[in-house]
Amino acid sequence: MTRNQTKTEARTDGLDGVVVAETEISGIDGERGRLWVRGHDVETLAHERTFEELLALLLEGALPDEEGLSRWRSSLGIARLRAFEDLWRMGAALEAENAMDALRAATACLEEDGVGNGSRTSRTIDTRIIGALPVFAAAWHRRRQDLAPVPPDPGRSHAEDFLHMLHDAEPHPARVLAMNRYWVTVAEHGMNASTFVARVVASTHSDKVSIVTAALGALKGPLHGGAPGPVLDMLDAIDTHGGSATTWLRAELAAGRRIMGLGHRVYRVRDPRAAVLEEATQQLQQAGLSSAYLERARRAEKAANRLLAELHPERTLAANVEFYTAVLLDGLGLPRTLFTATFAVARVAGWLAHAAEQRDGGRILRPRQRYVGARPDLMVSA
């Protein structure tokens, strides 16, 4: 407690427990490990629906019929083609060293053709942005390898086309299924940091390109969307130091370092998304395509659970979504440098859904602060 706080004043660092919006988009039960999107459990959606169907659910409020699904696939295909045509004027943006820097800079360039100026319908703008992100991410990846970008194929699904643009090869159906499951699982997750940023910017009635570029900046952080890659670094380090997960984890905890992929601000049990992604990785393994990290990750998770129960019996630190995101994306043939950008390709849908809800029914977000510094009326001059 700081010197200017009274004992009755509650700390709000991190805004824990502070409700900033009412929403119909998604809900989380952290005690029981449940996540639902517009009334549908995320596990059910991940097993039964495609990313295009989830877009309709998030942005239109209901799962689409066949005609509606066809419209989404067609409009996204056109949006990907248009984004590819824009690559020529985004060269400097795509030269960035970091994929998220490139994605943010390229997305900001969409303002140049009037996407964010209110001259088009809201759904057209949403589709334009959603369709552009996988094209920019794939083009950045290929440029880093001194390879030419691969043109989108509007006849493919969003997940299939992304994998094709990355590798310039026909993607295995199991990988397309796994990519769909990943994107459906992570597209929306309540009032996370980047979604909160999106709602703050939306509350000012700024344009959607600005909303998304701001959210991309938040997602880049290692405590948010930047976490998956370091999970594989951890598994590599365990192998390098003899292969004993318990020994390595104990040393890290003793040194006061954070274990990536474990624990969550909301869940008090295992993140339900971790189970979906672990199963998706298992299915890749059954198709002969899985990451070499799957069994190592499972051993590390079990060791971490035992060790954390021993050292911190008062709280639960279970696997979160990043733990198996890393293993799944490795199994899909993605480099670690592209993990967070691939996350963004999905999460943009959640940002845009929240932006629309905030603009439709919310006031400008203007929280208060509590000043704890020196007060001029209490300062004594020398």
Q: Tell me the catalytic residues.
A: 264, 322
Non-local (6+) Cβ contacts of 358 within 8 A are 21, 198, 199, 202, 203, 365
Cβ burial, residue 108 (10 Å; 0-12/13-18/19+): middle
87 Rama class: left (phi>0) / alpha (psi -120 to 50) / beta: alpha
CB 96 within 8 A of CB 105: yes
Q: Which long-range contacts (CB under 8 A, 24 or more apart) does 83-91 make?
A: 83/128, 83/131, 83/132, 83/135, 83/136, 83/152, 84/135, 84/139, 84/149, 84/151, 84/152, 86/110, 86/113, 86/132, 87/135, 87/136, 87/139, 87/149, 90/136
Tokens of 41: 């459990």
∠ at Cα 17 (322, 340), nearest 5°? 20
Residue 216 to residue 194: CA distance in whole angstroms = 7
Strand partners, 41: 36
Residue 187 to residue 310: CA distance in whole angstroms = 34
Radius of gyration of the CA atoms of the chain, in A: 22
Amino acid at 47: H
CB 81 within 8 A of CB 132: no
Residue 152 to residue 166: CA distance in whole angstroms = 10
- Residue written as token pair 């880093």: 144
